[in-house]
Structure 1
């Protein structure tokens, strides 16, 4: 009896399962574009607006994106970047080919807006979300904010990222102290080559 009942209910169960799966697939959020991921991870911004994105990455406020600026927001101009020049050239050439409509070697705000209005988005080159802040900014946004908070004490900053961050701070401070000491060091006349001495001085 139970077996017969299950057989009768099987079509209804399968139909419900199919409907539920279809509904879930229709309501699932579409995958985020590279630009959206970049804004979330680098700037804590959860909505993409072409004009705002352009302005945010127009680092010299010139109204255009140059090669240096595009490479910067793709994370290819960091001091410790290991990407080859071929990779950098490929990224820049792809951007130009996609949106430099007047072929002047730069991307204007209007060109980027037109590119986005056409349903396009910045390409994902598989290079990560892009990092373009200095060391302090990158440490704050990618490590401190994720693993620490304003109540964290100095003794609790023991992660490898914390140690490396403060090691750099110590090196910079020591370099500054050496420079100050050098500038304050009195001139020793005996150390000045004779040809630079003025007779009677």
Structure 2
């Protein structure tokens, strides 16, 4: 039962990533490839126009190790986002290899900060690999950045939050909260030994 509740919460989060309509679709919409994907990513995913190579690297060095791992590149490009669920795993791995071919020419297995800065300074840019702008935020972040900020504002009233994305977002919130309450209730339930089948009881 507990595992089903956990799966329900995870499923709700995954489902939220697939919202798509006229109001700020969160899908890979087939825009033409950008010759500077990092700029597209920063504008669409972070709403940042002015940045330098170091700040971009630091923002996407999720474990602050000073180097990008394949998993971090995968996350930055949004390869595991719902919008890319139709892409094959081999195409995703090829995309990661393409980035490493550019920024890790000596095959160290990571992209160091120094290698990144040096390669960017030479004129190389992150390629647009056809997977969209790189959705990699959580439920709240993606809703805020792709819908709320575009179609509402800090002074929006509850009555104005009536777009399909708003309704679905808050429905998912309600489901997740209900699932969490059920999980907490189960965890607080006392185990009644008499209800345990004898074959599962510890011999004394």
TM-score, length of structure 2 as denominator length? 0.76
Q: CA deviation at 1:159?
A: 1.0
How is 1:18-167 mapped onto 2 (pairs within 5 angstroms)?
Answer: 33-78=36-81, 81-82=84-85, 83-167=87-171
Q: Select between 79-88 and 154-163 the one with higher mean Cα deviation.
A: 79-88
Deviation at 1:185, TM superposition (A): 2.5
If asked which structure has higher relative contact order (CA below 8 Å, sep 6+), I would say: 2
> What is residue 8 of structure 1 aligned with on the other side?
none
Alpha-carbon distance between aligned partners in 1 of 2:142 and 2:121, rounded to the nearest angstrom: 31
Would the aligned equivalents of 2:39 and 2:49 in 1 still touch at CA under 8 Å?
A: yes
Distance 1:192 1:156, change over 3 A: same
The structure with the largest helix share of the pair is: 1
Matches of 1:192 and 1:128, distance apart in 2: 52
Q: Which has the larger radius of gyration?
A: 1
TM-score, L = length of structure 1: 0.77
Structure 1 CA distance, aligned partners of 2:65 and 2:92?
A: 22
Q: CA RMSD in A?
A: 1.9
1:80: how far off? 6.0
Distance 1:93 1:32, change over 3 A: closer
TM superposition outliers: structure 1 runs of 4+ over 4 Å: none
Give the unaligned 5+ runs of structure 1: 1-30
- The count of aligned residue pairs is 169
Q: Extract unaligned runs of 5+ from structure 2.
A: 1-33
